[in-house]
């Protein structure tokens, strides 16, 4: 299997994309495939550059055995658009913004298309309550598991902690 470079993107890089990065990284590690992937996340906006993920997705991830506390937000850089071979946006607004700034050959995909298969946007839970973050976790876990399969890898054997959704 060739090395795959994947970038998860949302608006500010403090909620959905760091959660997706954490979940996918965890699944890849469980499958013992860490050396085959480069995984990162970024935002289309730079308002939170250098900040850790929001406390709410950090707590949700932690409750499922995933640590995202070392991540730091950053805006998508021009080099990211050529360095990463697969750029996965959380919603259509982010796909549109990435398409506006990226070279035409950039592989930009909607998470709801490539990972979940429903074409849905992963809703931004930032202005909502805890249930929105749990829903985002659930959709991202489902999608990241499928994405690992789509990329030609046997589905990671999830620990009970990671695969459970309360």
* Residues that are catalytic: 10, 16, 124
CA atoms within 13 A on the CB side of 163: 10
DSSP SS3 for 38: strand
Residue 166 CA to residue 151 CA, distance in Å, equals 28
DSSP secondary structure code for residue 37 in this structure: E
Which distant-in-sequence residues (6+ apart) come within 8 Å of 146 by Cβ?
Answer: 115, 116, 117
Which distant-in-sequence residues (6+ apart) come within 8 Å of 66 by Cβ?
Answer: 22, 23, 26, 162
What is the b/e burial string over 38-71, where b = at least 16 CB atoms within 10 angstroms of the residue's CB? ebbbbbbbeebeeeebbebbbebbeebebebeeb
């Amino acid at each position: 299997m060739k090395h795959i470079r994947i970038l998860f993107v949302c608006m500010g890089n403090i909620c959905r994309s760091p959660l997706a990065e954490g979940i996918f990284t965890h699944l890849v590690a469980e499958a013992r495939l860490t050396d085959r992937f480069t995984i990162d996340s970024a935002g289309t906006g730079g308002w939170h550059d250098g900040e850790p993920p929001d406390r709410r997705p950090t707590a949700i991830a932690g409750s499922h055995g995933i640590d995202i506390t070392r991540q730091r937000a950053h805006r998508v850089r021009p080099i990211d658009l050529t360095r990463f071979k697969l750029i996965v946006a959380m919603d259509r607004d982010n796909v549109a913004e990435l398409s506006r700034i990226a070279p035409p050959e950039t592989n930009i995909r909607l998470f709801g298309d490539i990972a979940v298969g429903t074409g849905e946007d992963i809703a931004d839970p930032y202005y909502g309550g805890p249930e929105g973050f749990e829903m985002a976790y659930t959709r991202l876990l489902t999608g990241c598991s499928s994405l690992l399969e789509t990329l030609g890898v046997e589905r990671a054997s999830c620990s009970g902690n990671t695969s459970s959704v309360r």
